[in-house]
Amino acid sequence: MATGYHRIIMKIVLTGSLFFLGSSAVQAGVLVQCPGDADGSATWTGAEVQPVHAKCMHLGAGDGFITMADGKLQYMFGFSNLTGIPANTPTGTAEILDAGTLAASFPAPLIALDEGDEFYLTLTNIGMSMRPDLFDPHTVHFHGFPQAASIFDGLPDSSISINMGSSLTYYFKLNNPGTYMYHCHVEAAEHMQMGMLGSFYVRAAQNGTIFNYKGKDFSLFAYNDGDGSTGYDREYPIQIGSFDSAFHDASLAVQPLPFATMFDNYSMLNGRGYPDTVNPNPLPPPAENGGKLSQVESTLITASPGESVLLRISNLNVTKMNTLATLGIPMRVIGKDARQLRGPDGKDLYYNTNSITLGGGESYDVILDIPAGDAGKTYFLYTTQLHYLSNDAEQFGGMMTEIRIN
Amino acid sequence: MTTRFNLTMQLSAVLALLFWVSPLQAGIDGITGTNFTLSVKTGRVFTPDGGSLLLWGYADGTGPAQYPGPTLIVNEGDTITITLNNALTVAGTASAPNVSMLFPGQRAETSTTDPGVPGILTSEAAPGGSVTYTFIAAHPGTYLYYSGTDPALQVEMGLMGAIIVRPSNGANFAYNHPDTAFDREYLFLLSEMDPRIHEAIELDGPQSTAVGPYLANPFPVVWFINGRNAPDTLDIPNLPVLPNQPYNSAPMMHPGERVLMRVLGGGRDLHPFHHHGSHARIIARDGRLLASSPGAGPDLSHEVFTIKSVPGETVDAIFEWTGKGLNWDIYGTPADGPQFVHTCVDGNGDDFDDTTHEYCPDHYKPIPVVLPDNLDLAFGGFYSGSSFMGTLGSLPPGEGGLNPHGGYAYMWHSHTEKELTNFDIFPGGLMTMLIIVSQGAPIP
């Protein structure tokens, strides 16, 4: 059934892009803008030379399916990673649309970059195969990007969004390290509930230098702290997101969307409910996707005794505030909303806690300092809103993962 | 740049009649003084989905009920006296409830002339009666006031408002410290309503038995900034068609200015208030500067991109924006056209143009990507048609139009995105737009 839809939609999308081709002077169809990259793959291969600081990525926006931890299939809108496919070639548009169809992943592909990078992010609107009645444009909102220009803010109300079959390239100069997030901002209550959400973080320029903090040498830091106090050995993005299955089912069935009664019944970390969160592998792809993987990110946290683990926690839930707690080890909170917790005259505002509460659009950087003697132990990261420890009616699941010390 | 402003001004003269240009809008709307007379009355809260809800609101003297109540703007150190009259009427034969006011964060003084009746939390005004409250506005800052009588019901019905206490060192400071200076200030009083409660009270009166379960498990479906739902937030204040919702929320600024955001949790839910554009520095909570010691200034302040607004809490934050470090010139380059020729004069060595606040290290750097053709794009009403600040570009017929000065527009909204709806209809709700316009473009 999916294949049948697929074919019909490919025709619609391709016809649409041909129409654009005939009527547009500047651009039509898929186009990747990436300096030094001739074939539009958003990578540098062969004779192509990567300019200093340039980073590129090609995201598709479309739809697909994922599987909840209780086995329920959920229809979603989402992003897919099309980086690596030559797009600016005679067959590029067709190849990109083919690769991006029913390829939505949850969470969206991770974006992890370095301070100082110049980021060229191409978004191609693939179209929603299962909803041929929709002609929604899409955007990428780089949530929290400081000193943003509205043209690249991804807010459809104040700028531009890309139509089906075409590409828009965003440009970001990354001057500030920290934990951000990204999502589509078109019809935000719908597209975000439907799953167009991902993690986005920027590593600090201080990385690579050595600071000794409390007797330990660090070369990786969450922020340019100047004293090693945000040093870490391993980092994990943790994104809170949740689904209201009634909303997703209504969307798939082309029914009116229940905004007023929206109530999430699947609470997840990085696109999975417990115990799928601790599965280190990609989840099996739903047949409805044509075999494309849609849940590749594990949230199993592993570390060795004595290590410092940086959790980059963001929340893109669209219905409630959430509390995440640790069991067995305290959290040292060193950052909030992509800013080091430090006052304007240098006073550290770090604090230790066992729980943080964050609403949609907030992020925290917390460090777990694993004690030296804790080999073999398992700690837990879970919500203390205990009714969210469920996968719909299946009890004891949901927003939880494990921190295994090996 | 002057040329561009002249072009945009002609258009804006027309559009100004339609959008957020009103002589009444400067600063934060409210009433000033030391003696206030408020009355509790009924009114209607109009929502953009076409509905309306019964309101119990505080009114300024003989004026109409307001949602939120009148913003009381007072000065540090003043003794504030508020006489509250209970003019509430209810459906059917039931009697109206007592009403009252609480002033969290203020030190209330007992009054020997208080004619009210005793309540659990404070003195109350009986139906047709009145009560007088007195407090000393000892600390500058942002505060709430709300009903202390059956507050779960009465605050839901609309009985809440804001108090601003101006510091002694001047009206352009939030607190008595130079680091709290601001160029503009805006109020963001966040709240929500559950229509089932308002309908039950309207039909059955305040003794409605239907209302109990709703109050115990409220499920709001409309969300407000300053008593309005988007897009009404962006309309002018004192709009005749919104007789009980006089305040708007339409922040504007120029690059380089400091904007004080006074964010208040006036309802019962937490709202993550995400402000597009840049970070804001939280300098105070609940009317107390985040200072490690008296006189230290906001040395415990920190920057956020989402303000976690908690019920009953107030947050003061300073927002600034220049476009610094984008690595392209937001004012355009000569290659973009002769109208984009401009200078960046940094006389004081702070990297910014002394007048426009352009970030000079990015001066004349071209925008690094080519934008798609218009046929490939969908446009927002606040899009000027151009990537560049202070410029209007060509747009297809019917597109744009809400941004007559070619500013940059940013959504300031609840990031509980469900709250961007008005009773099942997207978009709306707890949302407004910040418009940043070039130096020289007028801000009402």
| Chain centre distance of CA B309 | 13
List, for residues A196-236, the tens digit of each pLDDT value.
999 999 999 999 999 999 999 999 999 999 999 999 999 99
Angstrom distance (rounded) from CA B84 to CA B61? 9
Angstrom distance (rounded) from CA A386 to CA B228? 34
Task: For strands B160-166 and B72-75, give the pairing.
Answer: parallel
Check CB contact under 8 Å for A319 and B410.
Answer: no
Angstrom distance (rounded) from CA A93 to CA B204? 63
Q: Identify the residue among B388, B417, B424, B431 best suited for mutation to test binding to A, counting A beta carbons within 10 A and taking the highest.
A: B417
Read off the DSSP letter of residue A231: B
Q: Is A339 on the interface with B (CB under 8 A)?
A: yes
The minimal CB distance from B376 to the residues A27, A144, A190 is found for A27
Q: Give the architecture (CATH level 2) of A2-405.
A: Sandwich (2.60)
Q: Looking at the predicted complex, does its ipTM rise above 0.95?
A: no
Report the pLDDT value the prediction gives residue B438, as an integer from 0 to 100: 97
Angstrom distance (rounded) from CA A63 to CA A104? 5
List, for residues B73-99, the tens digit of each pLDDT value.
999 999 999 999 999 998 777 789 999
Phi/psi at A289 (nearest 5 deg)?
A: -85, 0
Token pair 């003269």 in the structure block, residue = B13
Q: What is the mean pLDDT of chain A?
A: 93
Check CB contact under 8 Å for B306 and A362.
Answer: yes
pLDDT above 90 covers a percentage of chain A that reads 92
Distance from CA of A151 to the nearest CA of B (A): 5
Across B260-282, b (16+ Cβ under 10 Å) vs e yields: bbbbbbbbbbbbbbbbbbbbbbb
* Interface size, chain A vs chain B, as Cβ–Cβ contacts under 8 Å: 231
Report the pLDDT value the prediction gives residue B91, as an integer from 0 to 100: 78
Angstrom distance (rounded) from CA B30 to CA A371? 56
Angstrom distance (rounded) from CA A143 to CA A180? 6
Distance from CA of A287 to the nearest CA of B (A): 31
The minimal CB distance from A337 to the residues B305, B322, B328 is found for B305
Report the pLDDT value the prediction gives residue B112, as an integer from 0 to 100: 62
- Sorted by sequence, the CB contacts under 8 Å of residue B348 that are 6+ apart come out as B354
Whether the per-residue pLDDT at A25 is higher than 80: the answer is no
Report the pLDDT value the prediction gives residue B207, as an integer from 0 to 100: 82
Chain A residues touching residue B387 (CB < 8 angstroms): 149, 151
Phi/psi at B11 (nearest 5 deg)?
A: -65, -40
Check CB contact under 8 Å for B387 and A151.
Answer: yes
Residue A303 structure tokens: 């570390």
Report the pLDDT value the prediction gives residue A325, as an integer from 0 to 100: 98
The minimal CB distance from B426 to the residues A156, A259, A359 is found for A259
Chain A residues touching residue B301 (CB < 8 angstroms): 343-344
Report the pLDDT value the prediction gives residue B208, as an integer from 0 to 100: 83
Check CB contact under 8 Å for B416 and A344.
Answer: no
Task: Using 50 as the pLDDT threshold, list the residues of chain B that sit under it.
Answer: 1-25
The minimal CB distance from B304 to the residues A163, A166, A337 is found for A337
Angstrom distance (rounded) from CA A248 to CA A193? 8
The minimal CB distance from B326 to the residues A24, A149, A166 is found for A149
Residue A403 structure tokens: 């921190």
Whether the per-residue pLDDT at A8 is higher than 50: the answer is no
Distance from CA of B95 to the nearest CA of A (A): 33
Q: Is A402 on the interface with B (CB under 8 A)?
A: no
Please indicate, yes or no, whether the overall pTM of this predicted structure exceeds 0.90. yes
Q: For residue A125, what is the nearest residue in chain B, using CA coordinates? A: B376
Distance from CA of A162 to the nearest CA of B (A): 5
List, for residues B363-380, the tens digit of each pLDDT value.
999 999 999 999 999 999
Report the pLDDT value the prediction gives residue B26, as an integer from 0 to 100: 53
Angstrom distance (rounded) from CA B335 to CA B420? 40
Report the pLDDT value the prediction gives residue A260, as an integer from 0 to 100: 92
Give which of A275, A197, A283 is closest to A241, Cα–Cα.
Answer: A197
Report the pLDDT value the prediction gives residue A29, as an integer from 0 to 100: 87
Q: Following DSSP, what letter does each residue of A132-187 receive, concatenated?
A: TT----B--EEET-TT--GGGS--TTTSEEEPTT-EEEEEEE--S-EEEEEE--TT
- Give the three-class secondary structure for A57: strand
Across B129-154, b (16+ Cβ under 10 Å) vs e yields: bbbbbbbebebbbbbbbbbbbbbebb
Give which of B388, B410, B115 is closest to A143, Cα–Cα.
Answer: B410
Q: CA torsion sign, A222 to A223 to A226 to A229? A: negative
CA-based radius of gyration for chain B: 23
Phi/psi at A169 (nearest 5 deg)?
A: -105, 125
- Give the three-class secondary structure for B44: strand
Contact A137, A97 (CB under 8 A): no
Chain B residues touching residue A185 (CB < 8 angstroms): 411
Confidence of residue A91 (pLDDT cuts 50, 70, 90): very high
- The domain spans of chain A are 2-405
| Chain centre distance of CA B70 | 13
List, for residues A129-184, the tens digit of each pLDDT value.
999 999 999 999 999 999 999 999 999 999 999 999 999 999 999 999 999 999 99
Please state which of the ranges A18-22, A79-83, B107-111 shows the lowest mean pLDDT: A18-22
Whether the per-residue pLDDT at A13 is higher than 90: the answer is no
Contact B372, A162 (CB under 8 A): yes
Whether the per-residue pLDDT at A73 is higher than 70: the answer is yes
Report the pLDDT value the prediction gives residue A17, as an integer from 0 to 100: 40
Residue B385 structure tokens: 């048609």
